[in-house]
Structure 1
Amino acid sequence: MERQLEIAQCDDNEKVLYASRQLQGAALDWWDSFYFSHTEANPITWPEFHSAFHSHHVPARLMKLRRSSWLSSKGSMTVAEYRDMFIQLSWYAPTEVDEDEKRQELFMEGLNDGLQYQLLSHTFASFQQLVDKALVIENKHHQMEDKKRKFQG
C-alpha cells in the first residue's frame, strides 16, 4: 500500500482516501469502526490512520513475539537468509530500525558469535555495508572450512 501511495504521489488526505478504499474483510471492518468513531471535526490524517491501523493489526504482543523469534534464530542460518528474515521482521519493529545505527545494532545481535566478534571492531557507514562485510566474512569462513576438509581428507 505504501508503495502504491508513493507512486501515485498522494498528499496525506489523498493517502487516507485511497488506502481506506483498498481495505477488505477485517481491515475494512476496522476502518468502518475507526471512521465512524472519529469524533474530531478535522479529517483523519495519514499519520493518524497509519498509526491506528498499525497498532490494531500489529499488536505490541505480536511485535514482541516476532522480535524474540528473530533473536532466537541467532546463528542458525546463513547471513543472506538472516538478512532476508531481518528485513521482513523489521516491519514489526519499525521504531527499533528507524535509524541506520539502530538497524545495524539489531542486525548484529542476530549474527552468530564468531561473525559478531569479527565485525564488532569495525564501524560501518551503512546497514548495507555491514551486511556486505558479514557476507564476505561468512564466505571466507566457508572457503577455509572447505580447504581444511580437503587437507584432512
Structure 2
Amino acid sequence: MRPRKENPDIAQLVFDQLIAALPNIVSQVAARLNANQTSNSEPRPPRECTYKTFRACNPKEFNRTKGVVGLLSWLESVESVLHISKCTEGNKVEHAACLLQGRALTWWNTLVQARGREAANRIPWEDFKKLLKDEYCPKSELQKLEMELWNLEMKGDDISAYTTRFHELANLVSHLVTPEEVRIERYIWGLSPEIRGNITSANPKTIQEAVEIATKLTNNAVRSGGLAKGKRKIEEFGD
C-alpha cells in the first residue's frame, strides 16, 4: 500500500498557523515562568521567637544582688539576646521576666497580681526597663556612674584602659551620650590634649572610627616622644 502524499497547500497552511501562534505561545510560557519566580522570591514571614529559642541563646538570670551596675549590665545582655533571637516586641517582657530570680521575681509576681498576667506580659519593653530601674536603681548610684563618665580622662598613654572604661560607662548610662555624635564628642574630650585636636580635625563619624584614630595617634605620639609614658591603673569593671 502506497503512503498517502500530503497536500502541499494544507501543509503550508498548518505551517503558517504555527508561525502566527508562536509569539503567543512564547509570551504565555514567559508569563508563567515570571509568575513562578515572583511567587518563589516573596520573603517568608519571620518565624516567631519561641521561649525555647530565646533560652537557647543562654541569657543571664537576674536576682538583684549586684546593685544598679548589675541591673544595667543584665539589661544590656538581655537586649543582645533579644536581638539575636529575633524576639518580637510582644514576647520580650514575657521571655525576660522568666529570667528574674529571688527578690526580683517577687517584685514581678507582685506586678502580675496587680495588673494580671496578660496585661503584665504586654508591657512595652522600654516601660518594663523603666519599672525595673525605678525599683532597683537608686538615683544616688546612677549619679555616681554619670559623674564618673563626665570626669573620665585618659591618663598617660593608656588609651586601652580609657577606651574600655568609657564604653562600659557609656553603655550603663547611655542617655548621657545619645545620639552617637554626643558619644564621640565626650570620648574625644577625655583623650590626652596632645592628640585631642588632631582627632577633632579628623571629624570621625562613628565612635569606632574615633577609637581607631585615637589609638593610632596615641601610639605615634608615644613613639615620637610627644606623649609621656605612664599608666594609671583603672579598676577592673565588675558586674
The TM-score with structure 1 as length reference comes to 0.80
Size of the aligned set, in residue pairs, is: 145
Equivalent residues of 1:73, 1:110 under 8 A apart: yes
Give per-residue Cα distances to partners, 1:82-137, cap 9 Å, x unaligned.
11111111122121223210110111222122222332333112111111110011
Q: Is it true that 1:91 corresponds to 2:171 in the alignment?
A: yes
State yes or no: 1:13 paired with 2:90: yes
Aligned equivalents of 1:54, 1:98: Cα separation in 2: 18
For 1:138, give the aligned amino acid: T
Structure 1 range deviating more: 120-129 or 56-65: 56-65
Specify which of 43, 46, 57 is matched with residue 136 of structure 2: 57
Q: Offset of 1:50 from its aligned partner?
A: 1.7
1:29-48 residue pairs with structure 2 within 5 A? 29-38=106-115, 42=119, 43-48=122-127
What letter is aligned with 1:83? T
Alignment of 1:2-151 (within 5 A): 2-38=79-115, 42=119, 43-76=122-155, 78-145=158-225
Measured at CA, do residues 25 and 110 of structure 1 come closer, stay the same or move farther in structure 2, by a change above 3 Å?
farther
Query: Higher helix proportion, which one?
Result: 1
RMSD, aligned α-carbons = 2.3
Offset, 1:18: 0.6
Separation in 1, partners of 2:155, 2:83: 36
Q: Distance in 1 between matches of 2:109 and 2:183?
A: 35
The CA distance in 1 between the partners of 2:138 and 2:192, in whole Å, is: 29
CA distance in 1, matches of 2:200, 2:86: 41
On the 8 A contact 2:149/2:170 being kept in 1, the answer is: no
Q: TM-score, normalised by structure 2?
A: 0.54
The runs of 5 or more residues in structure 2 that have no matched partner are 1-77, 227-239
- Structure 1 gaps of 5+ residues are 147-153
Q: Which one has a bigger Cα radius of gyration?
A: 2
Moved beyond 4 Å, runs of 4+: none
Q: Percent identity, aligned pairs only?
A: 22
CA contact (8 A) 1:75 1:113 kept: no
